[in-house]
Structure 1
Amino acid sequence: MSIPFLKLPSVVQLEVLKQMEFQEVFLLSLCSEKSKRVAQSLNMRPLKIIYIFSEKCVQADVAYNQYDRVHGVANLKFVPSISQRTPMKLGGNAISYKYVEETSGGEFLHALHCLQEHSNLESLQTHMNSWFRGQLQVQLYVYSLRSMYQSGIIKNVTATCFETDELNTEQLEKYLAIHPNQNSLQLETKLVGPPFGNDSRLWDIKGLAFQNVEDAIFGDEIEVKVSGIMRNFRGQYLFLFNVVYDIRDWTRHDCSDWLDIKQDGEGKWGSILMTNSEICFVVWD
C-alpha cells in the first residue's frame, strides 16, 4: 500500500525524513518542488560537502565534522546516451536522466545516469547548496585525471585530495590556478614533470601533505627533496608521510645547541626532540 507522503501533516513528514538515509532524501527532493521544500525543512547543516570525481562518475557526500563518517547523497554516472529518459529539475535546471538501482553492494543504492555535460555538475552543486545551507567547506577527491578537468565546474573549493597513479606538476599548477583558495591539499600520487618553482601556489597552502615524498621531484636524494619542501613551504601545517631517513649521522652529531630554536617571523619557540628512531620538531604555542 502506497502512502501519500506529501499529504501527511508536516510534523509527521519531518519525523519520516529523519529516519531516511541522505540519498533517499536526495531522491525525494527531485520528485517535485513541493517535495524539495519538504526535504529542505530538515534544515541540515553539515560541516562540508565532498565531491568525488572518478572515471565517468561524480558522487556527492556530506560530513558533519572532520572525523564523522561520510554520508552518501548523490551518485551521478555519465553515459554516452540515455534510453527511456526522464526529465527532472536538479538545482532549478531541467536535465534528463535514468534512475538505476545499484546492486553491487557499495555505498550507494542508486545511480542517476545522465549525459556528461557541464550544466549537470553545475546543477548538482546548486541543488546541494540549496539543500545544505550555511558556510560549508567544499572538498574534492580526484581519482581520475580526466575528471580533474571537470572539477573546475565546482566552485569555492577549499580542500583537495589527489589519489591518482601519477600527476604532472604542471597539471597541478593549472588546477591550483582554477581553485586558488585551497586551505588543504593532500597528494597521494606520484608527481612527475618539472620541479615546483619557489613562487608556486603550492607553498602558500595552509595545510600540505605529501604521501610519497620520494616522487616529489626535488632532487635525486631524499634529503634534498625533504629539505627542498621544508625550505619552500610557507603555510602552517606540513605532513610528510612514508619518509625513510637514516638519522645515524644526526645521532653522532652534537645537537645540544639546537634543542631550543626560535621561529623566523612570528618568533615562536620550538624544540627538537630526538630518540634512537626519530626526530620530532615541536613548535610551542
Structure 2
Amino acid sequence: MPSLIGEMVVTELDYQEIFLLSLCSRRSWSLVKKARITVPKLTFHSEKCDTFVIGVKTNMMRWSYVTSVKHVPKLNLGGVADVKPGIDYKATIVSWYEDDPDYDEEDPGSDEEDPGHGPSFRHRIECADEPMTIQKETQDHINSIFHYSGPYELYLSTKCKGQLPNIKNVEDIEIEHDTVDTEFLTSVLTKYPDTQSLSVVSNIIGGLPEDSPFFQVQNVYVASQCGPEYFQNFVGRNMFLEGVTVTEQDLIQLLQKWISDEAYHNLETLSIIVEHPLLINADLIRQAIEFEEYDPNEPEKRPKNFVMDAPFISNCAKEEYRLRSEDFVEIKRIADGKRAFLYCDPTQLDFLVPKV
C-alpha cells in the first residue's frame, strides 16, 4: 500500500519535479519508474554553447521544462551532489523561484511554454565532466524515467561552433539564428541522418548542391531568402518557403513536371511566398496548364477541405484549406489521374495534393 500511495503521488508531480525526485535516491528513482509516467515527445534545446535544456512537447506550440544542464570549468565544491542512480556524474543543482517566467537560456529559470502564468520553480544542473558524455547520460536517464523511446526534437543555434549535441533518435530539427551557412546545414543532416522535419528560421548563406541531404528531408520549412532550386531539387512531402525569388516560368515548370509525373512523386503540400516586392502573374501560370475550375453546382466533385498538418515543429500550425472555392483550380496527373489543387495570387502559390 505505501508503494501504491507513493506512485499516486508521483503522478501528481510536474515533469521537472519527477526528474528531480528520480535523482534523490535509488528508492525514489525506482518509485518514479514504477509510476510509469509517459510523455508525448521530448525536446532538446542546444541554443547556448555551455547549456542544454530538455523539455516535454505538449502540443505544436508549447513545451514543459524538465531540466537544464550547464557545463562549468569547475564545480562549486560546497554544493556538490553525487547525482545518482540514473546519472553517473558529480554536479551542483542550482534552484530559484521565478515570479514571471519567460524562457531564455541566459536565465534558465524562465519558461517560454507558460509566460506570465504565475510563479514557477526552476533548477539547473551544473557539472564539469565532458559535455558529450553528460548529454548522452542525461538523455538516457530521462528516457528511462519517462519510458520514452520515441524521436527527439532538436533546437540548434549557429552561435556555437564545435561538436553537435551527442543525442540519439533525432527526427525534427529547428535552426534559429541570424544566419546559417550551407556547410553547417550539411553537417547537421549528416550527424542526424534520420531527420524527417527541418525548420530553418535563419538567413541561409551559400548555395546547396543538388545532392545535398537537405533535399531528402521529408518536411522542410525555410524562412529565408532563397531561389527556385529549393523546390526544384526537393523530393520530400511537404515544403514551406518564405521569401522566394522566382519567375512565372519556374512555377510553370514545377506544375508541368508534376502533371507529367516527371518529378515531385511524393509531394503533398508546397507553399511558396515570393520575396517582397516581387509579384507573379497568376493568370500567366494558369494559362500554361490544363485545369478545371470549381463548379458550385457540383460541389461534391471535390473534397470539402484539405488539412495541412505538416510537422514543421513550431513554425506552422495545422491549417485547413477550403477546396470548394473558386480560389482553387484542380489539375490532374496524366499517368494515374491523381488530383491536386492550386491556389495562386501575385504573392503566393499553394499546391495541395490530397492523399486520396
**With structure 1 as the length reference, what TM-score do the two structures score?**
0.82
User: Are 1:160 and 2:173 an aligned pair?
Assistant: yes
Cα distance change, pair 184–254 in 1 and its aligned pair in 2 (3 A):
closer
The offset of 1:33, in angstroms, is 1.5
RMSD: 2.5
The offset of 1:15, in angstroms, is 2.4
String of CA shifts for 1:217-237, please: whole Å, max 9, x gaps. Answer: xxxxxxxx0x21111000001
The offset of 1:280, in angstroms, is 2.6
Once the two structures are superposed, the pairs formed by residues 131-210 of structure 1 within 5 Å of their partners are: 131-146=145-160, 149-151=163-165, 153-193=166-206, 195-210=207-222
Partner of 1:271: 341
Distance in 2, matches of 1:60 and 1:113, equals 14
Identity across the alignment (%): 24
The partner residue of 1:82 within 75, 78, 82 is: 75
Letter in 1 for 2:63: V
More helix by share: 1
Cα distance change, pair 251–73 in 1 and its aligned pair in 2 (3 A):
same
Distance in 2, matches of 1:149 and 1:205, equals 22
**With structure 2 as the length reference, what TM-score do the two structures score?**
0.67
Letter in 2 for 1:63: K
Cα distance change, pair 22–253 in 1 and its aligned pair in 2 (3 A):
closer
Distance in 1, matches of 2:332 and 2:42, equals 39
Distance in 2, matches of 1:170 and 1:263, equals 36
The offset of 1:133, in angstroms, is 1.8
SS of residue matched to 1:130: helix
Kept in 2, the 8 Å contact 1:14–1:42? The answer is yes
Partner of 2:229: 228
Kept in 1, the 8 Å contact 2:70–2:127? The answer is yes
More strand by share: 2
Kept in 2, the 8 Å contact 1:251–1:276? The answer is no
Cα distance change, pair 267–176 in 1 and its aligned pair in 2 (3 A):
farther
Distance in 2, matches of 1:39 and 1:21, equals 12
The offset of 1:123, in angstroms, is 0.7
Kept in 2, the 8 Å contact 1:188–1:210? The answer is yes
The answer for unaligned runs of 5 or more in structure 1 is: 1-7, 217-224
The answer for unaligned runs of 5 or more in structure 2 is: 102-109, 112-120, 244-272, 292-329
Letter in 2 for 1:82: L
Partner of 2:36: 43
Count of residues in correspondence between the two structures:
263
